[in-house]
A and B are shown apart, each in its own frame.
Chain A
Amino acid sequence: MVDPRISIIDERMRGIGRIIAVSSGKGGVGKSLVAATLALTLAKKGYKVGLFDLDFTSPSTHIILGIESVKPKEEKGIVPPIVHGIEYMSIIYYSGEHVSPLRGADVSNALIELLSITRWKRLDFLVIDMPPGIGDATLDLIRLIGNIEFLVVTTPSQLAFETVRKLASLLKELKIHVIGVIENMKMDNSETTQLKARKLGVKFLGEIPYDLKVEEAIGNTDKLLNTILAKKVEEMAEKLWHNQKN
């Protein structure tokens, strides 16, 4: 028996310029905030952007962006609604605020289902908010999306970087493009993460200072875009659209 869904994923992704999985070795490093802010920033610059929250058991980008009461349209598949200029897709359309206790195989199946039925329009960027770690979602995206690229978020903690090292090593071994590492929640001038990233052979994209204003900006995109985090993400994203143009 053949799972027919796999055969249509390439077709569904065909109109997308760059597919960027915002990832981290461990949770709590601000990956969803970076992913949501990156999508907002790119949309603000006039790019056609999609944001896909793949953290099925703990989705949070809808809270960060204050997304409520929208649903995808059913049209020969499902068409994500456009919110704040972003085509937004998340499992919360189906799970609501309830818990989704999914095992790995279920995560895989739900991911394949959504990849095969979601009809993105022509996009310059699809930003994917990944679940933390190297689990089913990471392995499935590597298996199913040929041109996937990873943007890795870490913190100054050596514990966070140790997981980044493993993730980056796996991606390098599989010849998957790693755009670079972002150091979030920076509280001093240490260059340790930067040096470790270089040693790993991964580009260091920059650092984001620990920003107390981010918490109160959650749910309000205007406030979010005025945080230091957003300014820093914008600076780093400039490198992305520079690469896009060239």
Chain B
Amino acid sequence: MHEWALAEAVIAAASQVAEKEGLKEVREVKIKVGELQQIELGILEFALSQLKPTKFKDAKFSIKVAKAKLKCRVCGHKWLFKKEKMDESAAEAIHFVPEIVHTYIKCPKCGSPDFEILEGRGVWLESIKGVKQEDG
């Protein structure tokens, strides 16, 4: 249920953006979730539906999953993170703190733990749309 904490963060951030943009009603919230964090989308969606404030009552939350792309800083090799190749406790640790991937994964080509997470790390608020105050 750690997805709940992330959903709270999404709602808090979206509320701040809505406030800043003067939206009286939010209609759409686009979220990007990185594969590295192995978020349970069902739980995230449920948490969002439970946590959304009145301003978000008709908002549609669309969640896009981004593949986790890794790039070795030593040899330049690029590869995709695959949860299936990991043992369960390592995958769970990465679920909570994605940077722990450096503890459990090495570059498949040169064996270095010094790699970049190019994409697909955590949860991002991509955009929100709604009705502005002055729109009536």
- Is A236 among interface residues, defined by CB-CB distance under 8 A? no
- Contact A4 B2, beta carbon cutoff 8 Å: no
- Contact B5 A116, beta carbon cutoff 8 Å: yes
Given contacts A4-B10, A94-B100, contact A78 B5 (CB under 8 A): yes
Q: How far is the CA of A106 from the CA of B17 in the complex (A)?
A: 26
Given the complex, which residues of A lie within 8 Å of B15, measured CB to CB? 7
- Contact B32 A1, beta carbon cutoff 8 Å: yes
Given contacts A77-B5, A98-B103, A100-B102, contact A4 B12 (CB under 8 A): yes
- Is A113 among interface residues, defined by CB-CB distance under 8 A? yes
Q: Which of A94, A98, A99, A119 is within 8 Å of B97, CB to CB?
A: A94
Chain A contributes a number of interface residues (CB within 8 A of B) equal to 34
- Contact A78 B2, beta carbon cutoff 8 Å: yes
- Is B58 among interface residues, defined by CB-CB distance under 8 A? no
- Contact B125 A1, beta carbon cutoff 8 Å: yes
Given the complex, which residues of B lie within 8 Å of A5, measured CB to CB? 6, 9, 122-123
Given contacts A6-B13, A109-B121, contact A74 B1 (CB under 8 A): yes
Q: Chain B interface residue count: which class? A: 20 to 34
Q: Which of A87-125 contact B (CB under 8 A)?
A: 91, 93-96, 98-103, 106-107, 109-110, 113-114, 116-117, 119
Given the complex, which residues of A lie within 8 Å of B123, measured CB to CB? 4-5
Given the complex, which residues of B lie within 8 Å of A107, measured CB to CB? 99
Instruction: Return B52 CB to nearest CB of chain A, in Å.
Output: 14
Q: How far is the CA of A59 from the CA of B8 in the complex (A)?
A: 29
Q: Which of B4, B5, B99, B125 is within 8 Å of A106, CB to CB?
A: B99
- Is B113 among interface residues, defined by CB-CB distance under 8 A? yes
Given the complex, which residues of A lie within 8 Å of B13, measured CB to CB? 2-4, 6-8
- Count contacts between A and B, CB distance < 8 Å: 109
Given contacts A4-B124, A98-B104, A101-B102, contact A110 B5 (CB under 8 A): no
- Contact A8 B97, beta carbon cutoff 8 Å: no
Q: How far is the CA of A96 from the CA of B100 in the complex (A)?
A: 10
Instruction: Return B56 CB to nearest CB of chain A, in Å.
Output: 14
- Contact B12 A95, beta carbon cutoff 8 Å: no
- Contact B97 A114, beta carbon cutoff 8 Å: yes
Q: How far is the CA of A78 from the CA of B2 in the complex (A)?
A: 6
Given the complex, which residues of A lie within 8 Å of B94, measured CB to CB? 94
Given the complex, which residues of A lie within 8 Å of B99, measured CB to CB? 100, 102, 106-107, 109-110, 113
Q: How far is the CA of A93 from the CA of B95 in the complex (A)?
A: 12
Given the complex, which residues of B lie within 8 Å of A11, measured CB to CB? 8, 12
Given the complex, which residues of A lie within 8 Å of B2, measured CB to CB? 74, 76-78, 117
- Is A216 among interface residues, defined by CB-CB distance under 8 A? no
Instruction: Return B71 CB to nearest CB of chain A, in Å.
Output: 13
Instruction: Return B116 CB to nearest CB of chain A, in Å.
Output: 9
What is B's interface to A at a CB cutoff of 8 Å? 1-2, 4-6, 8-10, 12-17, 32, 93-94, 96-100, 102-104, 113-114, 121-126
Give 10 nearest A-B pairs by CB, closest first: A77-B5, A4-B13, A94-B93, A76-B4, A7-B13, A7-B12, A8-B9, A110-B99, A4-B9, A2-B125
